[in-house]
Amino acid sequence: MKDASYTPLASSEIGLLWMTYQEKTMSRQMLRYFAHHATSADEKALLSRVLGEVSGFVDRIRSRFVDEGVAVPVGFGDGDVNVEAPALYTGLFGVSFVRLLAKITSGLSALHLTMAYREDIRSMIQEISALSQRAYGDATGLLLAKGLISRPPIVTSPDEPDFVKDLEYMNGKSIWRKARPLNLVETAHLYQQMETNAFGFELMTGFAQTAAEPDARRYFESGRELARETVDMIQSIFMESDMNPSPAPSARATESTTPAFSDKLMMYCTNILTSFGLGGNALGTTFSLRSDLPLKLIGLMTQVYHFAQAGGKLMIRHGWMEEPPQAENRRELIRA
């Protein structure tokens, strides 16, 4: 029996824990696979450490649900991965996966912290955030040391501050005029989108090669092409400003067609990356002062949104979408 000082979980706290449990159980299974196929000691050490940290949070959240009398989500288990399947990606792809996942979880943790009220939940989210930031730093450092990740374009550093002098600064490219070069805030957001989609292209390639269901295979193929189009579009924007970034992927998909992950897990992973892409595009739109850039990013967001909608429908058709906890349906209760 809980004492009089007990504070039940708020609806937002149940929701954020549910989302975190889904993501962490997916991550744990993918990390098991990548750690199994690690080819170097430093890669193995990083993946194994992150796997242990993720597994610890899975166990803690499950215990929290049990203690609070909340149904434990299904999430993802050992049946969603075949660690003995041949390597689906070459090189340090698993480290790149950790790096991207750390970006996503760092952003989610910042959002979730604003939704948490109980001290123990806030503390757990802060721990997740700290470990995500450490994982991002370690993964980035390892990839840079191996020469397997490119840095954003290098430009001449400004030697003094300046102010915008007229409204032409906000004009974009048109058939009548050239646009000003990208400013470095715009460059930062655009490069992140290009880097993420370069990774997503290889991820979708492996997923498309190994999906069991034909409609899932076609879906991953369309995701692969959307990622390619995004990289090409952003690359052309950079080239117009005489910058030539090349976000070299740390690895490529192999020729394996043996399923390493369940279609359910791959669809959920794609859903997370798609949501991350939508958020990144929204930020890029907000911080872009050249009028043509938001138009291009909004067009891209529309494509990504429709891709996400199609994925949700596919997951529902196959029974792969676990339903989040719901509020009471008072209409049904009254009519019962």
Rounded distance between C-alpha atoms, residue 20 and residue 42, angstroms: 27
Per residue in 284-325, pLDDT tens?
777 788 888 888 888 888 999 999 999 999 999 999 999 998
Q: What is the mean pLDDT of residues 206-212?
A: 98
Answer whether residue 85 shows pLDDT above 70.
yes
Which of 114-118, 155-159, 277-281 ranks highest by mean pLDDT?
114-118
Q: How many CB atoms lie within 10 A of CB 271?
A: 19
Tokens found for residue 160: 């003094």
What's the 3-state SS for 28-51? HHHHHHHHHCCCCHHHHHHHHHHH
Q: Alpha helix (H) ranges present in the chain?
A: 11-36, 41-68, 93-113, 119-145, 184-210, 214-240, 263-286, 292-318, 330-335
Tokens 């300046």, residue located: 162
The letter for the amino acid at 24 is K
| pLDDT band at residue 2 using 50, 70 and 90 as cut-offs | low
Tokens found for residue 241: 């400003």
What is the average pLDDT score of the chain? 91
Q: What is the mean pLDDT of residues 177-183?
A: 85
pTM of the model: 0.93
Q: Domain-by-domain residue ranges, the chain?
A: 11-145, 167-318
167-318: CATH, from 1.10.760.10, 3.30.460.20, 1.20.1260.10, 3.30.420.40 = 1.20.1260.10
Answer whether residue 184 shows pLDDT above 60.
yes
Please give the CATH number for the structural domain made up of 11-145: 1.20.1260.10
Rounded distance between C-alpha atoms, residue 182 and residue 174, angstroms: 15
pLDDT given at position 45: 97
Rounded distance between C-alpha atoms, residue 320 and residue 314, angstroms: 8
Residue 89: strand, helix, or coil: strand
Per residue in 243-297, pLDDT tens?
888 766 567 899 999 999 999 999 999 999 998 888 777 777 777 888 888 888 8
